[in-house]
Structure 1
Amino acid sequence: MGLFEVHWTYCHPWGLLTSANFQKYPNEHASHVLSVDTLERTVDPATGVISSTRLLRCKQALPSVIRRLGFNVSDEAFFLETSTLDPTTQIYTAKTVNLSLRSLFTAEETCVFKPDPQNPLQHTRFSQRAEITTVGALSLFSRLVEDAAVNRFKANAAKGRQGLESVIQAVIAEAQSVEARVAGGLKESLEGLASGLGTGAPGRM
């Protein structure tokens, strides 16, 4: 079994991280992700827990050993992601598994976002764990295939952090733009009200 695990601290609050994560694709650092479709999303009225199921379509370069064995497979692969976001415990967990090439190998990934114990209001801890297991005809070449898959996860993990950071900055910029527009509209309303009061127009009997 091939194993990849990484832990990372984002200098952003948990709420911002999870909001940006739902908007993560597309971004310029994840060109391998071709599309993301939300199949289902529900909210538990009792707990507020948000459960989501998404289908990811990705372009992945397969390990060369697979092609050398004569497997004629598409470069596009599908993955199923199931996630839960608990606003009470502030834990977001996403589990992803490959749907394509299941007869050759399985790739199971778990990602978790939760507040950093050292600075829970401003920082978020991220953990990612992936397990790759070969099956069938590839079992004889398991080490080669699993090592190649682990290396691919490492490369995509770095791009994933860059992509999420870029989305976070976009979310912050959008929030600041909305805040500025609201503040500008409020200022105009107050100025109009003050002008009207100055002329004695409003409230005349």
Structure 2
Amino acid sequence: MRFFSSQHEFEYSWDEVTTCNWRKYCPWNDKSTHVIAVDTISRSLDPKTHILRTERLITCKQAAPALMKKFLGSEDVSHVFEVSYVDLRAKKVTMFSQNLTWSNLISVQEKVVYRPSRIIGCTTFEQSAKIIALCGGWQKVKNTIEEYTVERFRQNAVKGREGFERVLAISREAFAEQREQSRRAQSA
């Protein structure tokens, strides 16, 4: 079993971050070109807690390690199941994801939390993952698979943050442009 964790401060408000979170796999995010589809399976609002729960299926195109492809005959498409909870009262978004592809060989469980930072106007992003090789056999093989997966996860986490920063910047620019157009229209 291996663990990964990271924390980052986005210099954007919680409202901006949580709104853009739903658009982070958009065409202008050049760091997430591996995501080929995001399908919402269900969405519900708890009438008592007012927590929005969303289930999504994320389909990715990623090159599988040659050794896995050789033994499994696998394609380069993988699926991830994600459940998210948006709690407006607590100003907290919590997302859990689990790989569906190769889940009989390896389990990758990720948790992401967005909450307002102590720094005014910023948002704290916390990411953690637990990676477990489930394949039987030698511990050395399991360790190698887990270490490879953690390193790949680490690399993808950096790309993901960079891509999301781009989405946030473009969204802020677009919003400012809309505000300016609206202001001009009202004064005309």
8 Å contact kept, 2:135–2:142: no
1:146 match: 146
2:125 match: 126
The one-character-per-residue Cα deviations of 1:25-72 (angstroms, maximum 9, x if unpaired) are: 12101111111111122223443321111110012233344346x221
2:44 match: 42
SS of equivalent to 1:149: helix
Query: Which ranges in structure 2 are unaligned for 5 or more consecutive residues?
Result: none
2:4 match: 4
1:100 match: 101
SS of equivalent to 1:136: coil
Query: Which ranges in structure 1 are unaligned for 5 or more consecutive residues?
Result: 189-205
The runs of at least 4 consecutive aligned structure 1 residues that moved more than 6 Å come to none
Would the alpha carbon gap of residues 139 and 7 (structure 1) be closer, same or farther in structure 2, given more than 3 Å must change?
A: farther
8 Å contact kept, 1:63–1:145: no
**Structure number with bigger Rg:** 1
TM-score normalised to the size of structure 2?
A: 0.91
Matching of residue 173 in structure 1 with residue 167 in structure 2: no
Would the alpha carbon gap of residues 134 and 10 (structure 1) be closer, same or farther in structure 2, given more than 3 Å must change?
A: same
The one-character-per-residue Cα deviations of 1:77-110 (angstroms, maximum 9, x if unpaired) are: 0000100011110110000001111111111100
TM-score normalised to the size of structure 1?
A: 0.84
8 Å contact kept, 1:115–1:123: yes
2:64 match: 62
Whole-Å Cα distance in 2 between the matches of residues 152 and 52 of structure 1?
A: 27
Whole-Å Cα distance in 2 between the matches of residues 180 and 122 of structure 1?
A: 21
Q: CA RMSD in A?
A: 1.6
1:13 match: 13
Whole-Å Cα distance in 2 between the matches of residues 43 and 175 of structure 1?
A: 27
8 Å contact kept, 1:65–1:144: no
Q: Which amino acid aligns with 2:185?
A: G
SS of equivalent to 1:169: helix
Q: Which amino acid aligns with 1:49?
A: I
Would the alpha carbon gap of residues 16 and 71 (structure 1) be closer, same or farther in structure 2, given more than 3 Å must change?
A: same
Whole-Å Cα distance in 1 between the matches of residues 96 and 77 of structure 2?
A: 20
